[in-house]
Amino acid sequence: MSLPKVLSFHLMLMLSAFTGAANGYFYSVWTKCIHSSRDLSDMVYIRNYIFNKDVYIQFNSTVGEFVGYTEHGVYNAELWNKDPSQLQSERAEVERFCKHNAEIYQTAVADKSVPPKVKLSSVTQAGGRHPAVLMCSAYRFYPHQIQISWMKDGKVVKSDVTSTEEMPNGDWYYQIHSHLEYTPKSGEKISCAVDHAGLTKPIIVDWDPSLPESERNKIAIGASGLVLGIILAAAGLIYYKKKSTGRILVPS
């Protein structure tokens, strides 16, 4: 569930048939570098040639040559693929452009990442198709890219899920909240999984529906107080016994 990391460079050129015309022809080149592993071993270099929002030629380093998607694109892709120097230049971009810049980003940003704090709670239903709602919250993380997934019995759930955008706290950190509407079922296991650049593996929190959160907090506080009371009582008893054994009884 590792998040893909993307570096992109977008160059756009607008060509208009008439000076000052509202409608024109848009030609753009969009270069992307995609990887998931920290050692950049799975780096993929993609270069899209776009005309009026449609990709008509693409170079993908996993394919190793140009591929055309329109009649004009197929024609040009075949010409470009016949040029060894152009193909060699594109293939070399994985190392020259992608890995070079990814290493800089890794050092400057990703290595300074802060993992999120995760909380799973039940919230009041404000009207919906299901009687219960869970909220998975991630706090104080950096950078802002993050992924929250819901699972039921180990299977990813995508329906009845709503999430906020990553919201800046104003102190370089971010927060995000994801909601799952559901109908409680006996024996069903619901989990929230959070993946972030600051984590070596996703954080998975299981929901325990046995008691409401407020009741669980009361029990936890009460149990802590009971343990503390037992410790203090035991300490008092030990002190009393030591004082008693140190007395000298004198007959009257």
What pLDDT is attached to residue 231?
Answer: 81
| 157 closest CA partner among 135, 190, 124 | 190
In the sheet where 65-68 sits, what is the strand order? 5-15, 25-35, 44-51, 54-60, 65-68
Instruction: Report the C-alpha gap between 137 and 115 in whole angstroms.
Output: 13
What pLDDT is attached to residue 124?
Answer: 76
Instruction: Report the C-alpha gap between 200 and 198 in whole angstroms.
Output: 7
Tokens of residue 87, six digits = 């193909």
Strands 117-123 and 132-141: antiparallel
What pLDDT is attached to residue 17?
Answer: 43
Q: Mean pLDDT of residues grouped by 10 in the chain (252 residues)?
A: 58 48 76 87 94 94 96 96 96 94 80 90 73 93 93 91 92 94 89 93 90 52 66 72 60 54
DSSP 181-204: EE---TT--EEEEEEETT-SS-EE
What pLDDT is attached to residue 21?
Answer: 47
What pLDDT is attached to residue 219?
Answer: 44
What pLDDT is attached to residue 106?
Answer: 79
CATH number for the domain running over 113-206: 2.60.40.10
Q: Find out whether 61 and 45 touch, Cβ atoms under 8 Å.
A: yes
Q: Find out whether 46 and 29 touch, Cβ atoms under 8 Å.
A: no
- Count H helices and E strands in the chain, helices first: 5, 14
What pLDDT is attached to residue 27?
Answer: 87
**Beta-strand (E) ranges in 37-86?**
44-51, 54-60, 65-68
Phi, psi angle pair for 186, to nearest 5° = -60, 130
Tokens 């706090």 map to which residue?
139
Which one is the CATH code of 5-111: 3.10.320.10, 3.40.50.2300, 3.40.718.10, 3.90.330.10?
Answer: 3.10.320.10
Cα distances (angstroms) measured from residue 200 to each of 1, 15, 191, 197, 203? 11, 47, 19, 8, 9
The 10s digit of each residue's pLDDT in 115-173 is 999 999 998 765 666 788 999 999 999 989 999 999 999 999 988 899 999 999 988 89
Domain ranges of the chain: 5-111, 113-206
